[in-house]
Amino acid sequence: MIDLNSPDIMDAKEAAKIWGKNDGYVRTFYKQNPGKFPDGSIRKFGRAWVVTTEGMEAITGVKDPRKQYKQ
């Protein structure tokens, strides 16, 4: 079962903000490098792009900033 309440699923703008990128980062990156996203880590729903933490970590090379300071 997929938990849509999971913080590991977010819209592209929210993800870009969390990783310190501009609003269009995910969309632009996907258009230029679609193969860099792991299967199932990004999808477009209507006009909204939805991406997972796994997808963001794959394209940025940076672990989830929200989890870096948790012990």
Handedness of CA 29, 30, 34, 37 (dihedral sign): positive
Give me the sheet containing 48-52, strands edge to edge.
9-11, 48-52, 42-45
Q: What average pLDDT does range 15-31 have in this prediction? A: 97
Residue 47 lies in a domain: yes
DSSP-assigned letter for residue 41: S
Looking at per-residue pLDDT, the higher value among 71 and 16 belongs to 16
Domain span at residue 24 reads 9-62
pLDDT, residue 68, reads: 77
pLDDT, residue 39, reads: 97
Q: What percentage of the chain's residues is helix, strand, coil (to nearest 5)? A: 40, 15, 40
Q: What average pLDDT does range 23-51 have in this prediction? A: 97
Looking at per-residue pLDDT, the higher value among 71 and 50 belongs to 50
pLDDT, residue 1, reads: 87
Query: How many angstroms separate the most distant Cα atoms in the chain?
Result: 38
Residue 71 lies in a domain: no
Taking the model in full, what pTM does it have?
0.90
Residue 18 lies in a domain: yes
